[in-house]
Homo-oligomer: A and B are copies of this chain.
């Protein structure tokens, strides 16, 4: 186990890499804690949760809605949770987003920590304090920015992670490489999904590397006034299609990256050779690079993106592999790009 501390404005977040689940008892008081997890993780790891008070929510992105928060609040009341109760969210990004948000509003805020169980949550979703739920088709429209007390990485959860969830996680890893780290990008070109799935040390190192990238970016810009916006690479378009076409998050991000590559070529002189390298890596990790969509309806959802202001939107584009930039694009121009250019 390696412990690192990341100093956010509100508090330091402790990160335990490569920790065994039983170590949780040495961080928090079991009798004053409530675990929030989903049906899927609960069924797979029931024995781990013995002796812990546990709220089990339904699995799946479609439950990342206010109704699940309402359910958790009722469960916390029944468990007589009070201001000193500690919440532990255990699961993928949907679970950590939901658990962090419920903890943030119950009795005006309980302390909480996360045990991410998917690659995607380990390298991205559980890091940075953005928690919340969707409002119908609008992704993450409701929520808070509030940091957990800790993140806890128990890689044994990956043993049951389905291959398609590995693929999902790699969308965010490829995103990190594109916007921040050319060396990481080259590593992804030289390895394969199978090599990472088979080699525990290799995946542990990759997770820690990517968690480090995400922590560095969000620490530098906790409330997303600048640099942190880069992490939205692939997400503006990705979020617009994700719920409408019921896509896994990684697939939506992959398609969003492809869209961003094309716009980058169109208005930021991003080279087509580099663009092809990124497309090749996406495909190498089994991610989709095209999808027929109704561009009119996608554009109308995209206009509701949180990153927009009145008549324009901040869009993240590629400069070169390992470096992204923020560009403001008017809705008029974007509408044209979205409709013509896929």
List residues of chain A with CB under 8 Å of any chain B CB.
Answer: 32, 66, 70, 73-74, 77, 80, 82-84, 104-109, 130, 132, 135, 138, 140-145, 303-304, 306-310
Which residues does chain B contribute within 8 Å of A66, judged by CB atoms?
Answer: 66, 70
Closest 8 CB pairs of A and B: A107-B306, A108-B143, A105-B142, A73-B135, A108-B145, A82-B308, A84-B309, A108-B144
Closest to A32 in B: B310
A–B pairs, 26, beta carbons within 8 Å: A32-B310, A66-B66, A73-B141, A74-B135, A77-B304, A80-B303, A82-B306, A82-B308, A82-B309, A82-B310, A83-B307, A83-B309, A84-B309, A84-B310, A105-B132, A105-B142, A105-B143, A106-B141, A106-B142, A107-B306, A108-B130, A108-B144, A108-B145, A108-B306, A109-B145, A144-B144
Q: Assess whether A77 is in contact with B107, with CB atoms less than 8 Å apart.
A: no
Q: Assess whether A144 is in contact with B109, with CB atoms less than 8 Å apart.
A: yes
| Chain copies in the assembled complex | 2
Which residues does chain B contribute within 8 Å of A74, judged by CB atoms?
Answer: 135
* Chain B nearest CB, measured from A207 CB (Å): 26
Which residues does chain B contribute within 8 Å of A132, judged by CB atoms?
Answer: 105, 108
Q: What's the Cα separation between A307 and B310 when bound, in Å?
A: 43
Which residues does chain B contribute within 8 Å of A307, judged by CB atoms?
Answer: 83
Which residues does chain B contribute within 8 Å of A84, judged by CB atoms?
Answer: 309-310
Contacts A73-B142, A107-B141, A108-B132 aside, 10 further interface pairs with beta carbons under 8 A come to: A73-B135, A77-B138, A77-B304, A80-B304, A83-B309, A105-B143, A106-B141, A108-B130, A108-B142, A108-B306
Q: What's the Cα separation between A107 and B142 when bound, in Å?
A: 5
Which residues does chain B contribute within 8 Å of A144, judged by CB atoms?
Answer: 104-105, 108-109, 144
* Chain B nearest CB, measured from A323 CB (Å): 26
Which residues does chain B contribute within 8 Å of A309, judged by CB atoms?
Answer: 82-84
Q: What's the Cα separation between A141 and B75 when bound, in Å?
A: 13
Most central of A105, A304, A308 by chain B CB within 10 Å = A105
* Chain B nearest CB, measured from A298 CB (Å): 16
* Chain B nearest CB, measured from A70 CB (Å): 6
Which residues does chain B contribute within 8 Å of A142, judged by CB atoms?
Answer: 73, 105-108
* Chain B nearest CB, measured from A221 CB (Å): 14
* Chain B nearest CB, measured from A224 CB (Å): 9
Which residues does chain B contribute within 8 Å of A109, judged by CB atoms?
Answer: 144-145
Which residues does chain B contribute within 8 Å of A140, judged by CB atoms?
Answer: 108
Q: What's the Cα separation between A130 and B107 when bound, in Å?
A: 11
Q: What's the Cα separation between A310 and B70 when bound, in Å?
A: 24
Closest to A69 in B: B66
